[in-house]
Amino acid sequence: MATLYGSSTAGKTSEGKSVSLADVEARLRDTGYGVGGITRMPGNQSPILDPVTMRRSYVLIQVFDSDPKTTLFPASGFYHLRELSDKTAGLLLQP
């Protein structure tokens, strides 16, 4: 299970929610979200993105070495879902 975080440019990060990468990828693809909207940041420490992002908040997914990888999430590290905010990421948490 990967971890989904909603962060703000003020440096506040949500506690994180466990998510299945396969489910997240399926939901993203169902909405037309593609690999062009994702940036991978290697490492195991959460990056804090400066206000260079166009939104006041952003969404990160942490993928661990032990997670089964998918096409959109092929390696461990953090992934910035550039087209989502912490307010619009709810679609990734639906049962």
Q: Which DSSP string do the residues of 12-42 spell out, in sequence order?
A: -B---EEE-HHHHHHHHHHTT--GGGEEEE-
Confidence (pTM): 0.81
Residues in the chain, overall count: 95
Domain boundaries, the chain: 2-86
Question: What local confidence, expressed as pLDDT, does residue 23 receive?
Answer: 93
| Residue 67 near residue 19, CB atoms below 8 Å | no
pLDDT in tens, 15-65: 788 899 999 999 999 988 878 889 898 887 777 666 555 566 788 899 999
Q: Residue 9 has what pLDDT?
A: 54
Q: Is the sign of the CA dihedral 84, 88, 92, 93 positive or negative? A: positive
Contact 7, 60 (CB under 8 A): yes
Confidence of residue 95 (pLDDT cuts 50, 70, 90): low
What's the pLDDT at 66? 93
